Chain A
Amino acid sequence: MPEKKEYKVIGTRPIRHDGVDKVTGRALYGADFHTAGLLHGRVLRSPHAHARILSIDTSRAEAYPGVKAIVTAKDLPDAADKVADLGEGAVHLKYLCDNILASDKALYKGHAIAAVAATNAHIAEEACALIDVAYEVLPPVLEVRQAMEPAAPLLHETLKTGSLGETAEEPSNVASHLQHKKGDIEAGFAEADVIIEREFVTGTVHQGYIEPHNATALYNPDGQLTVWCSTQGAFTVREQLTEILQYPISKIKVVPMEIGGGFGGKINVYVEPVAALLAKKTGKPVKVLMNRADVFEGTGPTPASFIRVKMGATKDGKLTAAQTHLAFEAGAYPGSPVGAGAMCIFAPYDIANVLIDGYDVVVNKPKSAPYRAPGATNAAFGSETVIDELAKELNIDALEFRIMNGAKEGVKRADGPVFPRIGFIESVEAAKQHPHYTSPNGKKHHGRGVASGFWFNIGLASSVSISVNPDGTINLVEGSTDIGGTRASIAMQAAEVLGIPAESVNPSVVDTNSVGYTAVTGGSRTTFATGYAAYEAAQDVKRQLIARAAKLWEVDEEDVQFADGEFSCINGKEAQLSFHDLSARLGETGGPVVGSAAVNPPGAGGAFATHIVDLEVDEDTGKVQILRYTATQDAGKAIHPSYVEGQIQGGVVQGIGWALNEEYIYNAEGTMTNASFLDYRIPTCLDLPMIDTVIVEVPNPGHPYGVRGVGEVPIVPPPAAIANAIYDAIGIRMTELPMSPDRMLKAMGKI
């Protein structure tokens, strides 16, 4: 159970260890990496959304001065029917390899076809234009409902729907069908006095990290492959490389550079294997950078979806039944986050009868990648809008309705797990009592909306080692790439154990040869799981230092106590040493002290959030302006409150972008027509009000300090909260994302 004591470091706001590096421009991100003899790689991408590749002729490009090597799918090992194990479920190796370099078919505009290494990036780009590819262009499938039609063109002739353990006879674009059942859905709706059923459509959006993907690879003559890249997880890059290249894991070292945002999109590899192939062919280090259009067209967006939600409640406000049909676009290869959406959609509520059907559907768009609480935002847009409509219909305050039906400890989710102690009700109560919610709201065309969200968070493996320096500081070595301040939030957990200030910890994020296995920075797991490992490694250090003090004082270890950074003798002998002073005496007591821990904690503890938004609808232009925003969230225990606030604000900003502006706009040929930051508009300073945050702390019983992951859940409520506020403002239910000015004007009947 979490410790019930006052903390010295946890809950404070020390400055980040990497602050100076990052404000002075010294921090080195993947593209900033230089090494002697560097060649530059460039990827040729398909101009067609769906085409058979008939032939690839590289001879003209090979003859171009400055070109050193060209690779195509033929340079990848034969994937055949092999299955790749990436630690998080089996994947068809062919799908994995084909997404790196297409072998038989190009399945989206921007699909990588070939790559060139040359003496500079311009030459590589020029040579790409000299590669002759013959295509048989096929009709593209660009929308999930269209893709599910029996007559739809097939992306994969061999893909057959896996449904509840059975495999269909005929090929289809539906990769899989999942179902979660609880209670008796028919009986549940029969009990209801009010039933609302609505359909929702969400657009394709991108994670939108500012830093484009990058990788530099080098093969040594001894076969050692080193890859420098910006990634959410160096170890997952290593796993993917070993599968895709069919190369021994012990011969691959991945060096994580600083990373310029990921939000889920920098877990899958794209240019890393390409750089490795080019490096092998040339014997030189090769750097491959994406440009902005490559990122939009060639990397994982989060999927568009079609969602049907039906919910029923009694007239005294009890939810009796909830049903949903979730159809998610996987992109070119199976693997949409529909499973996660299905886990989250009704999770905030205690509903006796639930039926959830999810469909993973391939379409001619880039293979989808995780994006901050993947699947949950799409799902919540549907469910939280219907909840709002039910509350209005029943004339019950929308937050009160959530409290009346809110999930708490002991409630079983439709997908199986039983909640431990969670803080959903507390997050809603905090919103209900917030001055924002109790303030007046009644101007014309102004509206207020609320919505809640759930994300389950994940645990997974993390390793940390700590060495003690003679000046009373520690070096903390970790494998979690730091995307938003985790050097500090992990260091603080070790510092708390050892009774030293956060500033006395020197955290380092190191390569895959230098620390134990550590899963990705994703799933809101890093402060929870790597923090847990830091806590355990610090405990290891503490135990060893107690033994050293006992040796110095010639007493039993049981007679040494450690509290508040001081070792003291408790058998009557007068002896006391601070952590600092004992650190200086390691040489005389047996040598260096190194503590380590590898953990795989099961109790990640789910996160809940409730948001309130005020907005104004411009009746003439259809523009929605956010006026005020408040987000409450159960963080379990906020290690560094500024980072929790920052994560909440960041999630809200992305959620607002998703709700109001962001979408891939495709033409009939399947070309994204807005593959730039000018046309794919992410929120800037001018789009946002200040965002109030309220951190609720219901400690997670699965972590020594009660930490729950915080990074993902804040993106879940915004689209629904904004849609509910638009209804409040103008009396129209928006059921399509984004709620851009043109859709608003259409909904208002003005165009």
Chain B
Amino acid sequence: MADKKQSPKENAAEKPGKTTISRRNFLKGVGTGTVAAAVAPTVLIGAEKAAEAQMGEAITSATIQLNINAKTYEVEVEPRTTLLTVLRDGIDTRGNHVDLTGAKLICDRGECGGCTVMVDGTSVYACMMLAIDAQGKQITTVEGLAEGDTLHPVQEAFIQHDALMCGFCTPGFVVSAASLLSENKKPTLEEIKMGLSGNTCRCGTYPFIFDAVKTAARKM
């Protein structure tokens, strides 16, 4: 997968903010139940020493604020909750579903790009970022790309070139393409391929996707 899909540096926990929870203390909650530990992502378990998890004040869930598509959501998360889980299944503290299901849960481990969102302008796999690490950042999902009734040029171009078949990978490709074009206004075909190489389309619409990105680049 493309290197550019690495999560942005983890600095959210250090930023002050009224609902910001320290990643370190929060993770201590992970070790509180053997069953929970058995199914929590191994990356989390490995991140903290087991002994440390038994000490101090373990937090098993916390309420955090996330800025998604220029709107603030207050959601309760567990240490293992990914950004993708909040987008798709999160319920805010007033009981409203976040319900941004454009980003898809597919591989849950950064292999396919179907959950790509932008975090502070950079494309990120939402399944590979913990919700707590997304605090204090601007998160843009495919639902947030259009401005009112005006589609993003990438969205327009995908429709124009029929750069989708089943459409399931499309939100991820659209966000990756928008992110690519925000960094590189006139990408070559090779640069387009590299920029989108972290997304997979099984319907094989790649040639039409390349055409769509070229058209969008001309319009932006």
The residues of A with any CB-CB pair to B shorter than 8 Å are 13, 15-16, 18-29, 31-32, 34, 64, 122, 125-126, 129-130, 207-212, 258-263, 289, 291-292, 483-485, 642-643, 646, 649-654, 676-678, 682-686, 688, 690-691
Contact = CB atoms under 8 A, between A and B. Distances in A.
B202 interface: yes
Interface of B: 1, 35-36, 38-39, 78, 80, 88, 97, 99-109, 111-112, 114, 141-143, 145-146, 151, 154-155, 158-160, 162, 164-171, 174, 192-194, 196-197, 199-210
A26 B102 contact: yes
Contacts of A292: 106-109, 111
A667 to B, nearest CB: 21
Contact of A652 (B141, B142, B204): B204
Nearest to A263: B202
A104 B130 CA distance: 41
Given A129-B35, A292-B109, A677-B200, 19 more contacts: A19-B159, A23-B142, A27-B167, A29-B101, A129-B38, A129-B39, A210-B114, A211-B106, A263-B202, A292-B108, A643-B162, A649-B205, A649-B208, A654-B204, A677-B112, A678-B1, A678-B111, A685-B194, A691-B207
A210 B201 contact: yes
Nearest to B40: A122
A642 B193 CA distance: 21
Contacts of B159: 15-16, 19-20, 23
A126 B167 contact: no
A263 B202 CA distance: 9
Q: Which of A24, A261, A678 has the most chain B CB within a 10 Å cutoff?
A: A24
Interface SS of chain B: loop
Top 4 nearest A-B pairs by Cβ distance? A25-B102, A260-B168, A653-B204, A22-B167
Contacts of B196: 685
Q: Which of A25, A31, A210, A691 has the most chain B CB within a 10 Å cutoff?
A: A25
A22 B104 CA distance: 12
B205 A650 contact: yes
B202 to A, nearest CB: 5
Contacts of A20: 151, 155, 159
29 contacts: A15-B159, A19-B164, A20-B151, A20-B155, A22-B167, A25-B102, A25-B103, A25-B141, A25-B171, A32-B88, A122-B36, A122-B78, A129-B38, A210-B168, A210-B202, A258-B167, A260-B169, A261-B166, A261-B202, A291-B108, A292-B109, A484-B166, A642-B162, A646-B162, A649-B204, A650-B205, A653-B204, A685-B206, A691-B207
A211 B206 contact: no
Given A210-B106, A291-B108, A686-B197, A23 B164 contact: yes
Contacts of A651: 204
A287 to B, nearest CB: 10
Contact of A23 (B97, B107, B109, B151): B151
A301 to B, nearest CB: 14
Given A292-B108, A649-B204, A684 B168 contact: no
B106 A686 contact: no
Given A18-B167, A31-B104, A649-B205, A677 B162 contact: no
Contact of B200 (A34, A649, A682): A682
Contacts of A22: 164, 167, 170
A188 to B, nearest CB: 39
Contacts of B203: 261, 484, 646, 650
A130 to B, nearest CB: 7
A677 B151 contact: no
